[in-house]
Amino acid sequence: MSDLRFQQPHGDAALEEWRYIHNMIIPTHVLSLDEVRERAGRNHLEVALLGDVPVGCSTVRPPTDDTATATVIARVLAAHRGRGFGEELYERGLARARELGAEVIETVVLSSNGDGLRFALKHGFVEIERYLLPGDTIPWIDLRLS
């Protein structure tokens, strides 16, 4: 579809690319490099690059022992939206979740991210819950693939 390439972030430089994209799209939940390292140990993270330019990232939270539900999150920087990059990240994340045994797929979107919410709804997700985390003022939306 495009000249995107994908990499799992290993090492601080690649983890910083993932962190930068996450923090730009989720400014209400800024992560430190240590927090990203911890996430990389329990989740499948990827960075999408156009040439050497990071344009998006994804997270797949694998299903746990007590549930067959995985969470797939695709993020694309605003300047690179509308070009199919989110679609590629999402499809890769969905395939990875299914490889890990997921029977149910969910995602989570910050309610102020209209583009992300439209993307999720367009791809068959339905809202299941809105909530505020302690100290937050902008709700999160959990959605499930129907």
Q: What is the pLDDT of residue 105?
A: 97
Provide mean pLDDT across the span 16-21.
97
Q: Mean pLDDT across the stretch 7-30? A: 95
Class of domain 4-106 (CATH, top level):
alpha beta
Which tokens sit at 76?
A: 């694309």
Q: What pTM, to 2 d.p., does this model score?
A: 0.93
What's the pLDDT score for residue 1? 47
- CA–CA gap between residue 56 and residue 74 (Å, rounded): 7
* Closest alpha carbon to 73 in 33, 37, 34, 39: 39
pLDDT for the residue numbered 110: 93
Helices of type H across 12-139: 12-25, 33-42, 85-99, 114-122
Q: What six digits make up the tokens of 18?
A: 């993932």
CA 111 – CA 114 distance, rounded (Å): 7
**Rounded to the nearest 5 degrees, what angle is found at the Cα of 42, between the Cα atoms of 39 and 43?**
75
46-78 pLDDT tens trace: 999 999 999 999 999 999 878 899 999 999 999
- Report the range of poorest mean pLDDT among 33-37, 63-67, 95-99, 135-139: 63-67
